[in-house]
Amino acid sequence: MTTDLNPHTGVILFAHGSRDPLWRLPIDAVAQQMRFRWPGLVVECAFLELTTPDLSSTVESLMMQGKTHLRIVPMFLGVGRHAREDLPKLVADLIEAYPQVQFELVPSIGEHPAMTALMAEIAAKQATAA
């Protein structure tokens, strides 16, 4: 994996959110794993609804840390309405509100071939475990 360790870059893991406080634990674990594996990579989480912080709050927090390039990684397995419509609209609003920041919206994690391969491997191992 190539990582941009530019001191002005921050990564936002963006997920849906839930009323259940335990729902966010896997997203937080991904952020923690990224920080562990790539020291110096600034990673924060943000959520669409029902869980804090929201995307705007996370953007503001990263800007206060001097980040001017924010890479948003949608943590969606499927590419539904949230990934196709809601998130791009939120990012467009952020671009308008913060023209001094470069926003980069990458494809949803579920679209990545490595994620598909990993899920297939996990499912196959569970299916064949006796």
Q: What are the pLDDT digits (tens) for 94-116?
A: 999 999 999 999 999 999 999 99
pLDDT at residue number 33: 98
| Backbone dihedral region for residue 50 (phi beyond 0: left; psi -120 to 50: alpha; all else: beta) | left
Helix (H, G, I), strand (E, B) or coil at 43: strand
H/E element, 113:
helix 113-128
Enter the tokens of residue 128.
């064949």
Fold of domain 9-128: Rossmann fold (3.40.50)
User: What pLDDT does residue 35 have?
Assistant: 97
